[in-house]
Amino acid sequence: MFDARILETGEVVLSGRLDASQTERANEVFSRISTSARVNFKDLEYISSAGLGILLMNQQRLKNAGFALKLTNLNKHIQDIFLYTGFDKIFEIEK
């Protein structure tokens, strides 16, 4: 199961598994973000290249408008994925 929600504070909360079958759902939520936002990965177990694609596309869109996504609470496996793909350089990741 995958879920993405935008809290009243503007924080985006992800949970479950963001795989290639969930990109539509993820993009539907991410496309509603129009300013800088924190994305909380606390309950996200898994992400694949399809999920990274959604993050990349939205980061590019927001950066062009002068904003950015900031990521927090990535589990160890997901941190590794960000490192292997160089995504740790294109997102600010809060420790």
Partner 1 sequence: MEITVRRDIASLGEIFDFIDSYASRQGLDSGVQFSIRLAVEELFTNMVKYNRSRTESGIEISLEQSASSLILRLTDFNVDAFDIRTAKEPDTAKPLGERKVGGLGIHLLKRMVDTIDYEYADGKSTVILTKNLEQT
Q: Please give the residue ranges that form the binding site for partner 1 (CB under 8 A).
A: 17, 19-21, 46, 48-50, 52-53, 56-57, 59-60, 63, 76-77, 81, 84-86, 89-90
Closest distance to partner 1 from the beta carbon of 24 (Å): 10
Answer for the pair 30, 54: CB distance below 8 angstroms, yes or no. yes
Identity of the residue, 13 or 78, whose beta carbon is nearer to partner 1 in the bound complex: 78
Closest distance to partner 1 from the beta carbon of 6 (Å): 22
Chain position carrying tokens 């177990």 = 45
Identity of the residue, 35 or 49, whose beta carbon is nearer to partner 1 in the bound complex: 49
Name every residue whose Cβ is closer than 8 Å to that of residue 92 and which is 6 or more positions away in sequence. Answer: 68, 70, 71
Nearest to 91 by CA among 12, 29, 5: 12
